Amino acid sequence: MEILLLWIFYILTFYAFLPGLISRLFGFRVFRRGIAEREIALTFDDGPDPIYTAKLLDLLKTYKAKATFFVVGVHAEQNPELIKRMHEEGHLIGIHNYVHKSNWLMRPKTVKRHIHKTSGMIEEITGKPAIYYRPPWGIVNLFDFGNLGHIQIILWSAMFGDWRKRLGAERLYKRMKKTLKGGEVLLLHDCGLTFGADRDAPEQMLSALERYLKDAEEKELRCVRIDELIRTTEKHKALHPSLFKRLTVKLWLGYEKLFHVVFGLKTASETKPVLHFRARPYHGETMMLDDGVTLQHDDQVLELHFDNQHLYDIGHSSKSSVHLAIKLIRDVEKALPEIAAYVAERPELQQIKALYGVSFIHRGPEQFGFTVRDLPKGLFSWMTKRYLKLLLRVIHPMGQNRLRQQSDQLVPKTITMSMEYLMKRYGPGYHFSAHEMEASIHGAEQPFKNASL
Counting beta carbons within 10 angstroms of the beta carbon of residue 223, is it exposed (0 to 12), middle (13 to 18) or buried (19 or more)?
buried
45 beta partners: 70, 189
Eight-state DSSP code of residue 264: T
The sign of the torsion formed by the CA atoms of 385, 388, 393, 396 equals: negative
State the angle between helix axes of 434-444 and 321-344 in degrees (0 to 180), rounded to the nearest 10.
Answer: 120
Helix, coil or strand: residue 371: strand
Phi, psi of 245 (to 5 degrees): -65, -45
H-assigned helices in 298-418? 308-317, 321-344, 379-395, 399-405
What whole-number distance in Å separates Cα of residue 142 and Cα of residue 332?
A: 44
What whole-number distance in Å separates Cα of residue 417 and Cα of residue 274?
A: 17
Q: How far is CA 199 from CA 102, 195, 309, 378, 432, in A?
A: 20, 10, 57, 54, 68
Distance spanning both ends of the chain, measured CA to CA: 58
* Catalytic status, residue 114: no
* Catalytic status, residue 189: yes
Q: What residue type is 320 in one-letter code? A: S
Catalytic residue among 96, 100, 189, 276: 189
Q: Virtual CA dihedral for 52, 56, 58, 64, nearest 10 degrees?
A: -170
What secondary structure, in 3-state letters, does 95-157 show? ECCCCCCCHHHCCHHHHHHHHHHHHHHHHHHHCCCCCEECCHHHCCCCCHHHHCCCCEEECCC
What whole-number distance in Å separates Cα of residue 138 and Cα of residue 234?
A: 22
What whole-number distance in Å separates Cα of residue 202 and Cα of residue 211?
A: 14
What whole-number distance in Å separates Cα of residue 38 and Cα of residue 98?
A: 33
258 beta partners: none
Judge contact between 265 and 306, C-beta under 8 A. no
Eight-state DSSP code of residue 376: P
β-bridge pairing 287-288 and 294-295: antiparallel
Residues assigned a catalytic role: 45, 189
